[in-house]
Structure 1
Amino acid sequence: MTLPFPSLYPHKTDAMRKLQNLVARGHARWTGGQIEPRKLPALCLKFADRYGIERPAQQRWRAKAQGEASAHLVLWPGELYQEQKRVHWWLVVSPGGGLVVELEQLQDAGRQRIALTGYELVQMPRQGRPAAWTWRMTAANYAAWQERLRTVIRHYDEPGIRQSLHSLRRTPPFAESRRQAFELGRLAQAEWQRSQRGPCPYDGLYVGWFGRFQAAKTFPVSAKGRHKTPDR
């Protein structure tokens, strides 16, 4: 029997959204790492054979009824500018037993957070509603942003200011990370008024939002370990 290969998410935010949705639906145990592209097909085949990562929904429901955990594999090929190419992978697992629980060192996403390029997946309280999973900047990333904005504004580094605001506008558009981006935008305006003694001349910050039914772009894993990333 030929086992199907999972797909990769070329866009980081799509991979983040997939992880968020899976964890929110109960796949809150996980393990992960990075792997060379040439070794990825073997990893996918191993996980498909052992844990059924590509099983259809009907088979997953049957397994769930028998107390067996369900596993999904999420893949992201990394940033385009990285010299040493590595594919980031996460294996997320639902409640239940089975080989994946016996063979993998699974962690609780609520205690050992899934993190990616300065962002972490967390469960945030909501007034009058159940807590929700979302992505936010790590404390270190947020502090680095504060220092970066203060430095370029205090030194009146106009190219640095424009580049910083451009990068901030590209913050992954999740509820908590958007809130942090707007908070940093207000910090930048306040720092300008304090150090430059005048109204901030730069446009207000805007960070987009995910469309509820916006489909993610994916491309297949090659059996030979080679894949062509579509334009990002």
Structure 2
Amino acid sequence: MDLRVPTSKTVLMQHLQTLVLRGNSYWIGGVITPAKLPALANKMASRYPVTRDERGRTYDRSKGLAGAHFVAFPTVDGNIAWWVLTSDGKGGLADKKASPDAHVAQHAMRANGHIEFEDYVLLYAHKKDARSVIDAKTGREKQVIKDCSTWTWKMSSKAYGQVLAAIERDVAALNFGRDDVGRLEGLRGTLAYQRRRPLFSGVRTQVLQLHREADSQWGLMRKAWLGRYTLLAAKYGDNAGRLRSLKEITSKHLPKMVRMKVFGATTLGHLLRGELGSERAVT
């Protein structure tokens, strides 16, 4: 099959988010070796209408049939992560009479059915969204905070806990480190790495929380660091041993996610021939 493959890891995650947001909340998936991909793709194509285009899927849904999508992407270890997602309707994963996979299908909304990928989990989460509106009295633009719920990716509890533990170790060791371009070390390096994550709203909120936690913990130890590294303290004065401010982090280092083009020319065939390198799996 010549089904196309998302162009990067962040794009893959955004694609899965969009599919679920549009009602394709039933899913199955796993990780396989590249050699098993042709048989799997053909089997899923024989069971679900994964080769239909958007116009065809819209027509199917109007007739009570399920829409279906097959998604595959290379992992950092050279394997292939895959998913089949379908909407409600006849012939989909929720159709226990027609689908041979209905007994193992998950629903993305359920607590035990969330889609996970590497460090991340796709959740239906509550968030506060800042929006610009025109004040009816003054005619000027103003910012208002709206409560809303939507699908977003977040770091898993395990991944978040691992970062917290790394922060605690760096602080305890007075390992202030550095976050220069190309060199990430110590506490500053740990935080800089978090800013490089795919900044979906849920992840972005967590990264900011991690910076707040680091700022709080480091604030208690900075005096000890200054006492140990007196030459650096003298050289940098009041800025010595200071983390980037939360204001700088939010305004310059945590950009909001934008909509990206999902597909290029790469297809499942390229995956089989090894023409989509594992470096694509880390971006």
State the TM-score, normalized to the length of structure 1. Answer: 0.87
2:165 equivalent in structure 1: 147
Equivalent AA in structure 1 for residue 194 of structure 2: L
Within a 5 Å distance, the mapping from 1:118-137 to structure 2 comes to 118-126=119-127, 130-137=148-155
2:218 to 192, 196, 205: 192
1:107 equivalent in structure 2: 106
Equivalent AA in structure 1 for residue 30 of structure 2: G
CA distance, structure 1, for counterparts of residue 42 and residue 213 of structure 2: 48
Q: Does 1:226 align with 2:219?
A: no
Change (3 A) 1:126 1:163: closer
Equivalent AA in structure 1 for residue 220 of structure 2: R
CA distance, structure 2, for counterparts of residue 52 and residue 185 of structure 1: 45
2:55 equivalent in structure 1: 58
* 1:68/1:98 contact within 8 Å kept: yes
The sequence identity of aligned pairs, in percent, is: 28
CA distance, structure 2, for counterparts of residue 106 and residue 32 of structure 1: 9
Point out where structure 2 has 5 or more consecutive residues left out of the alignment. 129-145, 178-184, 227-238
1:86 equivalent in structure 2: 79
By how many angstroms is 1:122 displaced?
0.5
2:207 equivalent in structure 1: 181
CA deviations over 1:110-166 (Å, ceiling 9, x no partner): 111111112111111246565200011112221111111111122022222243123
1:37 equivalent in structure 2: 34
The runs of at least 4 aligned residues of structure 1 exceeding 6 Å deviation read none
CA deviations over 1:166-224 (Å, ceiling 9, x no partner): 31111211001101001101111111111223775233432333223x32354211189
* 1:154/1:196 contact within 8 Å kept: no
* SS of residue matched to 1:167: helix
CA distance, structure 1, for counterparts of residue 220 and residue 44 of structure 2: 55
By how many angstroms is 1:64 displaced?
1.4
Which stretch of the first structure deviates more once superposed, 133-142 or 193-202?
193-202
1:164 equivalent in structure 2: 190
By how many angstroms is 1:34 displaced?
0.5
CA distance, structure 1, for counterparts of residue 33 and residue 72 of structure 2: 12
Between Structure 1 and Structure 2, the one with more strand by share is: 2
* 1:5/1:54 contact within 8 Å kept: no
2:244 to 183, 200, 203: 203
Point out where structure 1 has 5 or more consecutive residues left out of the alignment. none
CA deviations over 1:26-76 (Å, ceiling 9, x no partner): 001111001111221222222223212121223222321222111111212
* SS of residue matched to 2:269: coil
Equivalent AA in structure 2 for residue 44 of structure 1: A
